[in-house]
Structure 1
Amino acid sequence: MILFKPIMLALITQQLKNLLILLAAIIVILILIILLFSGKSKFRRLLSLFLEEQPEMGGEIPRRSEPAERAPVQKRQQPEEEFANQKRTSEPIVEMATLVRKSDDRLRIIESSGQVRMVDEYYELIFVTRKGQKLKIECSAEAYDKVPFNQPGSLTYRRNMLVKFKYYEDTVYN
Structure 2
Amino acid sequence: MSPASEDKNMKKWKTPLWAAVAAACVVLLSFLATLVYLDQLYPVGLGPRQPIPFSHRVHAGVKKISCFMCHSEAHRSSRAGIPPLQTCLLCHSRIIRTYPYIAKLRALAASNQPVIWARVNWLPEFVYFDHSMHIQRGIDCGHCHGDVSRMDRVSKARKFQMGFCIQCHRYNRATHDCFTCHR
More strand by share: 1
The answer to whether TM tops 0.5 is: no
Q: TM-score, normalised by structure 2?
A: 0.27
Q: TM-score, normalised by structure 1?
A: 0.28
More helix by share: 2
Structure ranking higher on relative contact order (CA contacts 8 Å, 6+ apart)? 2
